[in-house]
Structure formats: structure tokens, C-alpha cells
Amino acid sequence: MRPLIGITSSMEIEGTSFTVSSDNVNAIKKAGGLPVILPNLVGDEVNLYAEKMDGLYLTGGYDIDPLYFAEEPHPNLGTVTPDRDVFELRLINKMLELGKPILGVCRGCQILNVAVGGKMFQDIDAQIDQELLQHAQKAPTAHTSHYVNVLRDSLLYRLTEMEQLRVNSRHHQANRSVIDIFQVSGRANDGVIEAIESKQHPFVLGLQWHPENLAIENDQPSLKIFQGFIEATRNQKGGIQNENH
């Protein structure tokens, strides 16, 4: 049976539409999952989604309300969509409580960190006092524009078996710090955090880049990340929640 993977959706500021790029859907499908796009509903649906899904895939999108990490808005903060923030924060915490696998990319990496009490930069160019790489690349989506150095003792290394990855990059925010139950498992050469993961859950991984664009082009490290995510959902289906399937 193909694991049911909930994919979070972007929304416009007034909530008039929910959207997901086809690369996100196709990357999950290519790795063996059954993708389901989730609207940002903030009622009882959150718990129902968490109970039904085998894994959660947190996608990219607009900025996160800085009040969730105890800051007020920086002048360079972009568009914020409050309902999406509320939905994803509740859903992440429920999935963590249930011990189900989570993969987050770009904004998904950031909201995952914020959900557990981590901190982030609202705008890296304005808030990091050093010269940075170009993190908002001016290149096709599947172009790999910089490197990420991978911590050997990490899930990310076990998935890719690589100490350095070439990645694409489309962000102006990034994680600043993680709490003790998480670890930083990847950084760019300028020190910007590029990967985080839980030390207490079998598969909870956040990546600042967009591996979905690379996986559908058969980039092997990216494909291995998605395949590892889907395999983790199969493993947990055989354990703590199999009676529901």
C-alpha cells in the first residue's frame, strides 16, 4: 500500500486559493507515496488529518509571522498568511505527538523549527552581519547554485551518504537556532543553516533548499531523501498505528 502523504499548500493573503507546485506532488509520487494536498483549515480538521496521514510534507511559500518566535516584524518581512501559520503549527505538533514522519522544505524547514521553539531570521541579508552567498538564486529552479556541508552523524548523511551536497536556493529567511531535541545537520559555506532534524524522532527533517525540483530531474541525493521519507512512513505504519490501516 502506498503511504498517504499530506502536502501543505500555499495560500494568498485573503485565503482565496490553495496552491501547490506540481514538483512537490510529483516528487512524493516518484518516491512511492500517495500525495494529498491539504487546505489550510484551522478547526477540528487538523487532528483528523494527522490521524489519517502516514507522513507530512511541509512545502515552501510566504513568510512566517515573527510573533511565533517572539519578534515583531522586520522592515524586510514579506507577505504573511496567518491561517497557514496556525494550521501548520498545530498539524506539526500533532504529527510529532503521534511520532509520524515529517519532511519540510524551505518555509517548511522554518515552520518546523518554530513549531518546537526554535528561532529564525526574518531576513538573512539584513540580520546576519557578514557577506553571504546568494540564497535567492537567479537561475532555473533545478539549477544547483551552492554547497551544503552535511554533518556525518545525522539522518541527512545516512540518506545521502554525502558530506557535501549541491543545492538550489530560493529564500530570504532562515533558521537562526534550534532547541536541544533538534540538531543542525547542514550549513552553507557562509554558515547559514540549511538542514535541521530531530534527535528524538525516527524521521523529522527540514531542508532549506528545494529538493523537489531536483528529485524529479533524477538528482540522486534528492531522490534518496524523498525515498527515505516514504520508507519511514512505511516503517511507522507497520508499528504504532498499523491497526488503523
Residue by residue, pLDDT tens for the chain (245 residues) are 899 999 999 998 888 899 999 999 999 999 999 999 999 998 899 999 999 999 999 999 999 999 999 999 999 999 999 999 999 999 999 999 999 999 999 999 999 999 999 999 999 999 999 999 999 999 999 999 999 999 999 999 999 999 999 999 999 999 999 999 999 999 999 999 999 999 999 999 999 999 999 999 999 999 999 999 999 999 986 433 333 33
Phi, psi dihedrals of residue 188, rounded to the nearest 5°: -70, 170
Q: Are 107 and 242 in contact (CB under 8 A)?
A: no
Claim: this prediction has a pTM higher than 0.75? yes
DSSP secondary structure of 1-50: -PPEEEEE-EE-TT---EE--HHHHHHHHHTT-EEEEEP---STHHHHHH
CA dihedral 57, 63, 67, 71 (to 10 degrees): 120
Q: Which residues are catalytic?
A: 106, 210, 212
8 Å CB contact between 125 and 185? no
- Domains in the chain, ordered, with CATH? 4-244 (3.40.50.880)
pLDDT at 137: 98
Q: How many CA atoms lie within 13 A of 10 on its CB side?
A: 16
Count of other CB atoms within 10 angstroms of residue 79: 9
DSSP 3-state percent helix, strand, coil across the chain (nearest 5): 35, 25, 40
The C-alpha atoms of residue 119 and residue 235 are separated, in whole angstroms, by 31
In the three-class reduction of DSSP (H, G, I as helix; E, B as strand; rest coil), residue 93 is classed as helix
